[in-house]
Every structure is written in structure tokens, then in C-alpha cells.
Chain A
């Protein structure tokens, strides 16, 4: 279970002050597949970063009673100057996993071949997505945080993700930020709309998507 109680987050830079999240209360249970809806700049990524522990809330508390992945997104998680395999080795080390197992899974899942021996900064966003997914699947988290990235992959990647995430790991939780109504209708069982710093959790995904589309 993940419990967010009264989370507020503001950024200030050079005297300017921006309140992004203003009192978010959420409970995410085992097996929840939560779609995160909101317009650009509404605070979807910020909320995902806070839940993932990448940034700290200005006030409020987040309790994680299950293992939570790092936010899988376009940025972060990798050292660009290192090769894909060196990154895999680093991650295996800090998550106490056996590198050969991780490597086998990564090679198999990403199908990147020789490219894995190139620095990650030379990867396209689709390739990054493959690597991030492969690593987080190999580590096995209870809850996956996914920031947009699932849709950048090609057909083959989406098919693989589908098999690994939605068929083999049905009992896991997932929080996905996405602008794709179709995706959220298809794969989520709950949805959160973030608007003006507040979050509304809805059990009816279709209703949530309809409401989001009127924003």
C-alpha cells in the first residue's frame, strides 16, 4: 500500500514561487492500476517523483508499504556516459541482484544487441524505455511508476510490455501518467485526475477520462 497524506509541493527559483501540488491525499492498494490524468504542467510527473522518492514533498507524508520502482520516464535513473550494460551492473549492485541474471533478462527483453555496449546518451527515447522497463521488470517491484514512456515504444515493445506487465504480473500495482485516453480506458482500473493542485481519485475509469477531456 502507498499512502500519501496531505502532500504539498512548491518550487521556488529566484524569488518566484510556484505551488504545484496543494494537499494531495491518496491510497494506492496492491493490484491497483492507476491512470494519472492531467493537463501539461498539472503536476503528474511531480507526483510520480514524490511517490518514487526522487524529490521530497514540501510538506506532508508518503508511506510506502511495498517496494516501489523508480519513475520510469524519459529522464533519470541512468548515467548517460555509461553503457547500457554498465548501468545494468550499477543497478544490479544497488538493488542486490545478481548481474548475470539481470543481464540475461535485459538482453532478451530489450533486443538492443550491441547497442547495449554504447553509452546510454546515444540511445533514442524508445531504446531508453526498453532498457528502463527491462531493468525494472528484472528487479521485480510491487508497484511500478510509469511516466508517459510506455507509449514511445514500437509495436513489438508494447506487445512485450503487455505480456510482462499485464499478463505475468497482474497482481502488481502500477501508477501510469498518460495522455492517452485509450490506454487508460484499456488498462487501468482506477484513475486520478490532477487539476489545480488537487487530486481526485475515481473508481470509474471511463467517467474519469470523460471528465478529463472536458478540462
Chain B
């Protein structure tokens, strides 16, 4: 009995991997086509965003802030936040957009969210890597002092973003008013994303509040991983883990509920 259920789990797992893979390829073809640089466009936007804002700050704030290179600091903040914003906007109404594929029973609603999110993560990480390599070439970016911590921060950040997408996708199907609030909410989120500051630069009151935000904790991890002893970082690794787990559970429950009542044309 235990063996057969394990086998079934294995089968279902490999099926979902196939489905997500097929969905990702389909998504890349529809979004980027097969012409010119094709799917490399996924890193274009985060790069442009981070690059231009970084330059802007370079000229308005000077080349360093609290002893840290401004371009690198801004870029390391902007690329993760683009991941968050894109992930969220791609999750809105994702079930309706893909409903014709729900005709195939092995395609699950969570696969839609996952496929789109993985593409965003790949884009964000490629942009990050590309930018770091270029900036290191110009001497504007330090060699990361603790690569493991940087990657751990990135992964936790991504998992938390994904867990939010799992909640937003079904909610956006349940009510259309929800959809209208999303741009505002993602904008309001910016100060809580750890984008413009290290927690240690702030007042103790602000620190206490901001350290509740999983984004800030992950961002601190990433920046500590890059600048090492040059910065003081405050983070608790359990904050993003616990928040993501709770959000993933809620998201999965919501997806299941919405799927039961989803009307497919």
C-alpha cells in the first residue's frame, strides 16, 4: 500500500514537471516569439530598470552611500522588486487567461502560476548575474563575500513572492475589484521591500517595524552576502520561511476552492 502510493506520487510528480515544462515553453513562445534575441528579453526589463535608476541615483546621491557603491546598491534592490511586481501582475487572472488548457485534466491551476513564476525568476536571476558581472568589470560591484548567503536570500525572496502569487491568482478570479487594488498595493509595498536602505541605517522604531517584512529580511541577507563586513545586516531567516509556508498553505487552499467553481468556456 505504502509502496503503491509512493509510486503514484512519483508518477504525479513527473507529470506535473512535464506540464510545467510544457507550459513554460508555450509561455516563452507566446510572449517572446522566436525572432531576434527571443526569450533573453525576460532579462531586459529588470536590467534597464535597475541600470537607469542606478545611474539616476549615482548622479543625485553621489557614487557611494554609507560606504556602499550606489549603483550596485540600487541594482541589487531593484531586480528583486521587479521579480515581485512582475510575478504579481502575471498572476492576476492567470486561470482565465489559460482556461482553454484546463481541458487537459493533467494541467492544474497551480501549474499556471508556477510556470509563469519560474520564467520571472529565471529572468530576474539572469539579469542579476549579468548586471553583477558587468559592474564587477567596471569596478562598481564587489566580489560577493558570501555567495551562499546571497543565494539563500534570493531563494527565500523568490519563495515568498511565489507564495503571494499563489494567493493573488485565486483571489483575482474571485473578485474583479481585487484586480484594481493590485497596482496600488504593489506600490505601497515598495518602502517595505528593503529596496532603498539597510535596516541598520534607520531609527530603532522603524527597524522594529520593517523587520516584520519578509522582503526586508531576505534583502538584508542578499546584501550581507554581497558586501560582507562592509555592512551591518539584521535578519531572521525564520521570518520569510514561516511567512511563506503560511502563505503557500493559504494559497493552495484558495486555488483548490476556486478551481471547484471555475467556469471554463
Contact B262 A55 (CB under 8 A): yes
Contact B103 A79 (CB under 8 A): no
DSSP majority for the B interface?
helix
Partner of A93, one of B18, B29, B98, B264: B18
Chain A interface: which of B45-53, B104-112, B180-188, B191-199? B104-112
Q: B192: shortest Cβ distance to chain A, in Å?
A: 35
- Interface residues on chain B, size class: 20 to 34
Could you give, for residues 102-124 of chain B, a 1 whenever the CB lies within 8 Å of some chain A CB and a 0 otherwise? 11111100000000000000000
Q: A115 an interface residue at 8 Å Cβ cutoff?
A: no
Partner of B263, one of A11, A78, A95: A11
B82-132 CB contacts (< 8 Å) to partner A:
98-107
Contact B103 A82 (CB under 8 A): no
Contact B106 A94 (CB under 8 A): yes
> Which residues in B have their C-beta under 8 angstroms from that of A90?
22, 25-26
Contact A70 B105 (CB under 8 A): yes
Contact A82 B30 (CB under 8 A): yes
> Which residues in A have their C-beta under 8 angstroms from that of B102?
54, 76
> Which residues in B have their C-beta under 8 angstroms from that of A76?
99-100, 102-103, 264-265
CB-CB under 8 A for A93 and B21, given A55-B262, A79-B30: yes
Contact A78 B100 (CB under 8 A): yes
Partner of B22, one of A53, A78, A81, A94: A94
Contact B101 A79 (CB under 8 A): yes
CA–CA, A137 and B103, complex, Å: 16
Contact A56 B259 (CB under 8 A): yes
> Which residues in B have their C-beta under 8 angstroms from that of A86?
26, 29
CB-CB under 8 A for A94 and B107, given A54-B102, A54-B264, A75-B100: yes
Q: B27: shortest Cβ distance to chain A, in Å?
A: 10
Contact A96 B18 (CB under 8 A): yes
Interface size on A, residues (CB 8 A): 25
Q: A40: shortest Cβ distance to chain B, in Å?
A: 17
Contact B19 A94 (CB under 8 A): yes
Could you give, for residues 72-104 of chain A, a 1 whenever the CB lies within 8 Å of some chain B CB and a 0 otherwise? 000111111110001000110111100000000
Q: B8: shortest Cβ distance to chain A, in Å?
A: 15
Residue of A nearest to B107 (CB): A94
CA–CA, A136 and B44, complex, Å: 39
DSSP majority for the A interface?
loop
Q: B260 an interface residue at 8 Å Cβ cutoff?
A: yes
> Which residues in B have their C-beta under 8 angstroms from that of A35?
none
CA–CA, A77 and B103, complex, Å: 5
CA–CA, A56 and B250, complex, Å: 21
Q: A69: shortest Cβ distance to chain B, in Å?
A: 9
Contact A49 B264 (CB under 8 A): yes
> Which residues in B have their C-beta under 8 angstroms from that of A81?
30
Contact B260 A70 (CB under 8 A): no
Contact B22 A55 (CB under 8 A): no
Residue of A nearest to B98 (CB): A79
B13-39 CB contacts (< 8 Å) to partner A:
18-19, 21-22, 25-26, 29-30
> Which residues in B have their C-beta under 8 angstroms from that of A75?
100, 265
Q: A71 an interface residue at 8 Å Cβ cutoff?
A: yes
Q: B23: shortest Cβ distance to chain A, in Å?
A: 8
CA–CA, A22 and B135, complex, Å: 66
CA–CA, A80 and B103, complex, Å: 14
Q: A21: shortest Cβ distance to chain B, in Å?
A: 14
CA–CA, A80 and B105, complex, Å: 19
Q: B185: shortest Cβ distance to chain A, in Å?
A: 25
> Which residues in A have their C-beta under 8 angstroms from that of B29?
82, 86
CA–CA, A54 and B103, complex, Å: 5
> Which residues in B have their C-beta under 8 angstroms from that of A49?
264
> Which residues in B have their C-beta under 8 angstroms from that of A68?
105
Cross-chain pairs A/B with CB under 8 angstroms, 22 sampled? A54-B105, A55-B262, A55-B264, A56-B259, A70-B103, A70-B105, A76-B99, A76-B103, A77-B104, A79-B26, A79-B30, A82-B26, A82-B29, A90-B22, A93-B18, A93-B22, A93-B25, A94-B22, A94-B104, A94-B106, A94-B107, A95-B104
Can you list the 5 inter-chain pairs with the closest CB atoms, starting with the nearest? A93-B22, A70-B103, A53-B105, A76-B103, A77-B103
